[in-house]
Structure 1
Amino acid sequence: MGRRQVWLLVLTGLFPTVEAVVLVAMGFVAAEGLAPQTGAVWPYDTYHDLRWMFVYHQSWPEFLTTFWLVVLARTGYHVLMVRLAWPDGMPMPSVPWMLRRGFVLVVVVTVVVAPWAVISVAASVVALSWVLLASLLPMFLIAPFMQRAAMVRVWWGGLPSVRLVGWSLLNLVALTVAGAVAWSVPSWWTVLVAAVAGVVNGLLWIRILRVALLAPPPRWARVPVTPFVVLVAFTVPVLIPLAVDAVPASLRAERVLLDRPLPPEITQAVVVLAGYGSAYGGVRPDDPRVEWFSYRGLGPDGEPLPYGPTDTTISMAESVELLAAQVERLHRRTGRKVALVGESEGALVARTYLARRPHPAVDALVMFSPLVGAGRAYYPPPGARRGWGLVTGWYLRALFEPVRLTGGPGKGPDEPFIRSLLDDAPFYRNRFMCPVPGVRMVAFLPYTTAAEAPPGDYTGIPVFQTVGVHGGLLDRTQVRDNLVAFLAGAPVQRTRPEYTLIQRLTAGWQAPPLDISANPAWADVREPDPAFTGRVCVPGR
């Protein structure tokens, strides 16, 4: 290894080390997994920068100033990395040519990567694993094409070599493992992990550049494959939720209780709260003690009204009021204690109800696929001129516009349900998974929930971790039996080591949470921040 390559390793190790020192000194534990990406081969370094930028800015001038400063800094960094990694004995392009090429490509890569960075921030608002996956898979798809762009003259044409794709995959794996280890080790050991990860990044710079330069002429050299791949990448966010819905044999929570009479050992009446985008046609459950929660409320006869997917977009406050009325009526009608069984948004509604409008008759809460750690980012309402995540909000509105025009169930990033998560974020970040006096609680968590929030002590209630995707649990018999057992009074709890592993492996791909104390919109709430404490249910100040 030559002198230039040694300097490259020093530099790629330095920048992650500096970021790790800052994060550890701040106690910003939720973001420690991001530090190894600071010196990564692009586009992952750009993805790292943009996630910080989209969370931590308060105005258009501030964002645009930061944007161009980052573009210029990354241009210089990439040109320096390429020159230091350039193989000995091979003609090197001139510095002016590399600066021009580097600047153009940094702008192109930033524009291409920006939607996925914004989607990553959106994932931290709604705490949905498929949203995070939708932001990450396109990165892997376009990475081999972007990584050779600064090194070959015809960057837009042809297919990358198999070896380059392999090294690109190794790059993703290395960053994933580094993020997991950085989060897992105690405090200042994170700095050492970041430094080692930076050196690995440097070795990957050397190998990827060499493979790109020494590769034989690519197939389809004159075909604009790179632009086509970028367009394909934009379809991923649409395809992932369809793939999730297509998972076979998944068990929807509401089907456990609505399609058959309750077993005799369950003595409560039950309200079943379905999730976002659900619909209810008005068909009564088989058991008169069971009711389907209606996002439209009760009719004149006291029965839950039918509702459609768009009705699930109402604010959390409205849903809580409707649930309070339905619980009161069900309790009066049956004379029984009431159990709440909620899935996804329904779990949010039920837990928020217990915090704001609890009824003494409610003695049990079961949450399926709850949105753990929602509200970790923020953007102000459309009329605001300043606020954390201002540009992010407008970017999300632009991204969502085609969905709105095609008749999707939601009303965009400013629909009342989403704004409820944003406005009451401190509660959902710190209190959502905490016990309620007098109420037995359990959360059934599919493995994908592990990717929905940074690792940490995320729950103060019993959890049952099981195979499944958000809104669908695959082990039908086991989940049904444990749900019935819990409602009958038995304790239910199961944790799995692979769940924790998934949490840590996804730590580096989360967007950094917005500091609760930094946001004036949350100034009235004095909640500790799990992003810094590393745990939930910490008493407020």
Structure 2
Amino acid sequence: MTSLSPMIEAAVLVFLGFVAAKGIAPQVTAVWPYDTYHDLRWLYVYHRSWWEYLLWLSYVLVTRGLFTTLLVVLAWPEGLRRPSVWWLLRRNVGLAVLVGGFVAPWAAISVAASVVALSWVLLASLLPMFLLAPFLQRAAVVGHWWRGLPSLSLVGWSLLNFVVLTVAGALCWSVPGWWTVPVAGVAGVCNGLLWNRTVRAALLSSRVRWARVPVTPLAALLAVAVPLVIPPVTDLVPGNEQWIKTAVLDRPLPSEVTRAVIVLTGYGSEYGGEQPADPRVQRFSYRGLDPDGKPLAYQAQDTRISVADSVRLLEQQVDRLHRRTGRKVALVGESEGAMVARTYLARRRDQAVDTLVMFSPLIYAGRAYYPPPHQDQGWGVVTGWQLRVIFALADIGGGAGGGPDEPFIRSLLDDAPFYRNQLMCPVPGVRIVAFLPTTTAAEAPPGEYARIPVFQIPGVHGGLLDQRQVQDRLVDFLLGKPIGQHRGEYPWLQRLGAAWQAPPLPIAANPAWADNPQPDPAFTGKVCLPAR
């Protein structure tokens, strides 16, 4: 029974050629809360109005309650008195609504992760469910499920559940063509066994520790707090800006470097107007130039401007630096800075820039969509409003500010076809290399993602661990030497992350992208194909 639904979903995805979403299919019949996470990710990407969202949400929650009731009845241990089917039905439909309400914000954040292509955002959407899974899996059968700690066996089955779904997603993506269907079926059989084991573990636990303590609500509060801790923790990893400053801004470049250099730092960076040690080097300013042609100091909020505005400012800065030095210009961009530099080469192509170095570019950004707040129709309209509420609450709690409609984020949404298909592509007459932290592998669906040289290195977004090696390779590239490095674990991490991505919205389905038709990597599995 639990194998049929994954096989049907996998068959539909294979028939449509929707390769990017194949890793999600095994979760159709997964144990709570991953089944609901599966449903809501599809719903949050694929709805176009409020009434459509509410209609499908009602269907999903009621269907989940009915299906869970059936599985609980089938898994109930022999010899143990079972409540009436009506009691189980009321309990599981009600819990489906409760679990849906808890999972909803994290499913919305997973869609945000598809927009910005940041691994820590994806992790923030997944960790709360991973932490709460052992607690929620008691809810279908235990009366006072919110009190007491789950047993060790239930924690073990919950961990195994996560591992099975991760590996099954990787296998569904890795096998060719229609082989995805039987793999999804085997994953569904495993789901059935896990339902059986978790129901038994919840019912047959001999002793409940902390039986009078409302542990589940406390665990829920902890799960909500965990995502807020992730950004500060990732900030502890040595950042790109720090070593870019050491390698390029605080000391002269080797005399053999013949190019002038503009360094574009990332989102949330700040600049106090300090002049680089080498007169051939400039810091890009998100506020532009003063009358003397020097970059203006800027604050973190200035980095939130649209990519189009940043490209316009970069054009002015490239022109001034090129005329002042008489040299070709190399762009060295990190995160948002990399996106601005690559967009500049696509939209304002000139002969002054012949070198681009990208650190932690946002690979496959813009895989989902939500319309601006003044529009009440469009793919992901409810998702957009949920994200606005989440960001507003985060701001009240001392969040970083900004929001899902700030100009930089809207640039990723509006120009998504370009960023999905052309970001990591060659530009005639320009030498390009991308330095990628290993977490980039979890930020996008598996498959081809680049046709330019890449240098893969351990680290997180905005922080590369082996700074000395990267500094040396950066200088080598500026000297004209070819560089590149592929790590063996990278494609495996791509596959293992496939189960937890939100399904992408096809480029051709969104009227908002009609002016920029591009081949869709979600179906082709390729990038850099010529625009239609």
Q: TM-score, normalised by structure 2?
A: 0.98
> In the alignment, which residue of structure 1 is the partner of 2:409?
418
| Distance in structure 2 (CA, Å) of the matches to 1:207 and 1:272 | 55
Q: Structure 1 residues 407, 146: closer, same or farther in 2, change over 3 A?
A: closer
Report the residue type matching 1:383 in the other structure.
H
Match of 1:443 among 434, 440, 446: 434
Report the residue type matching 2:264 in the other structure.
L
| Distance in structure 1 (CA, Å) of the matches to 2:531 and 2:16 | 20
Using the TM superposition, give the Cα deviation of residue 90 of structure 1 relative to its aligned residue in structure 2, in angstroms.
1.3
| Distance in structure 2 (CA, Å) of the matches to 1:465 and 1:454 | 17
* 1:384-424 Cα distance to aligned partner (Å, 9 max, x none): 01000000000000000033346655421000000000001
Q: Given the alignment of the two structures, is residue 71 of structure 1 paired with residue 61 of structure 2, yes or no?
A: yes
Aligned 1:211-222 pairs, distance under 5 A: 211-222=201-212
| Distance in structure 1 (CA, Å) of the matches to 2:85 and 2:167 | 35
* 1:294-319 Cα distance to aligned partner (Å, 9 max, x none): 00000111100000000000001100
Match of 1:179 among 169, 189, 198: 169
> In the alignment, which residue of structure 2 is the partner of 1:165?
155
Q: Given the alignment of the two structures, is residue 51 of structure 1 paired with residue 62 of structure 2, yes or no?
A: no
> In the alignment, which residue of structure 2 is the partner of 1:246?
236
Q: Structure 1 residues 98, 191: closer, same or farther in 2, change over 3 A?
A: same
Match of 1:12, SS state, is coil
Match of 1:23, SS state, is helix
> In the alignment, which residue of structure 1 is the partner of 2:314?
323
Using the TM superposition, give the Cα deviation of residue 181 of structure 1 relative to its aligned residue in structure 2, in angstroms.
0.7
| Distance in structure 1 (CA, Å) of the matches to 2:163 and 2:396 | 38
> In the alignment, which residue of structure 2 is the partner of 1:352?
343
Match of 1:482 among 473, 491, 499: 473
Instruction: Report the more deviating stretch, 397-406 or 159-168.
Output: 397-406
Aligned 1:394-413 pairs, distance under 5 A: 394-405=385-396, 408-413=399-404
8 A Cα contact 2:239 2:462, kept in partner = no
Using the TM superposition, give the Cα deviation of residue 156 of structure 1 relative to its aligned residue in structure 2, in angstroms.
0.8
| Distance in structure 1 (CA, Å) of the matches to 2:103 and 2:187 | 22
> In the alignment, which residue of structure 2 is the partner of 1:506?
497
Aligned 1:1-400 pairs, distance under 5 A: 11-247=1-237, 252=242, 254-255=244-245, 256-400=247-391
> In the alignment, which residue of structure 2 is the partner of 1:530?
521
Using the TM superposition, give the Cα deviation of residue 359 of structure 1 relative to its aligned residue in structure 2, in angstroms.
2.3
Report the residue type matching 1:369 in the other structure.
S
| Distance in structure 2 (CA, Å) of the matches to 1:422 and 1:246 | 29
* 1:143-179 Cα distance to aligned partner (Å, 9 max, x none): 0000011111111100001111111000000000000
Match of 2:464 among 447, 467, 473: 473
Report the residue type matching 1:403 in the other structure.
A
8 A Cα contact 1:528 1:538, kept in partner = yes
* 1:347-366 Cα distance to aligned partner (Å, 9 max, x none): 00000000001220101000
| Distance in structure 2 (CA, Å) of the matches to 1:371 and 1:300 | 33
Question: Which portions of structure 1, spanning 4 or more consecutive aligned residues, are displaced by more than 6 angstroms?
Answer: none
| Distance in structure 1 (CA, Å) of the matches to 2:393 and 2:296 | 30
Match of 2:332, SS state, is strand
Report the residue type matching 1:513 in the other structure.
P
Using the TM superposition, give the Cα deviation of residue 246 of structure 1 relative to its aligned residue in structure 2, in angstroms.
1.3
Instruction: Report the more deviating stretch, 393-402 or 208-217.
Output: 208-217
RMSD: 1.1
Match of 2:441, SS state, is helix
Instruction: Report the more deviating stretch, 193-202 or 254-263.
Output: 254-263
Report the residue type matching 2:14 in the other structure.
V
8 A Cα contact 1:167 1:204, kept in partner = yes
| Distance in structure 1 (CA, Å) of the matches to 2:506 and 2:111 | 14
| Distance in structure 2 (CA, Å) of the matches to 1:233 and 1:201 | 24
| Distance in structure 2 (CA, Å) of the matches to 1:54 and 1:221 | 37
Report the residue type matching 1:209 in the other structure.
V
8 A Cα contact 2:238 2:464, kept in partner = no
| Distance in structure 2 (CA, Å) of the matches to 1:207 and 1:402 | 38
Structure 1 spans left out of the alignment, 5+ residues? 1-10
Match of 1:188, SS state, is helix
* 1:226-277 Cα distance to aligned partner (Å, 9 max, x none): 1111111111221001110012587745322112111122110000000000
| Distance in structure 1 (CA, Å) of the matches to 2:326 and 2:120 | 41
Q: Given the alignment of the two structures, is residue 428 of structure 1 paired with residue 419 of structure 2, yes or no?
A: yes
Report the residue type matching 1:259 in the other structure.
D
Identical positions, percent: 67
Report the residue type matching 1:134 in the other structure.
A
> In the alignment, which residue of structure 2 is the partner of 1:3?
none
Report the residue type matching 2:34 in the other structure.
Y
Using the TM superposition, give the Cα deviation of residue 89 of structure 1 relative to its aligned residue in structure 2, in angstroms.
1.7
| Distance in structure 2 (CA, Å) of the matches to 1:251 and 1:341 | 11
8 A Cα contact 1:251 1:473, kept in partner = no
8 A Cα contact 2:265 2:336, kept in partner = yes
| Distance in structure 1 (CA, Å) of the matches to 2:394 and 2:323 | 42
Matched residue count: 531
Instruction: Report the more deviating stretch, 253-262 or 400-409.
Output: 400-409
Q: Structure 1 residues 392, 79: closer, same or farther in 2, change over 3 A?
A: same
8 A Cα contact 2:238 2:463, kept in partner = no
8 A Cα contact 1:251 1:475, kept in partner = no
Q: TM-score, normalised by structure 1?
A: 0.97
Report the residue type matching 1:56 in the other structure.
Y
Q: Structure 1 residues 496, 29: closer, same or farther in 2, change over 3 A?
A: same
* 1:18-58 Cα distance to aligned partner (Å, 9 max, x none): 00000000000000000000010110000000000000000
8 A Cα contact 2:433 2:455, kept in partner = yes
Report the residue type matching 1:132 in the other structure.
L
| Distance in structure 2 (CA, Å) of the matches to 1:250 and 1:419 | 24
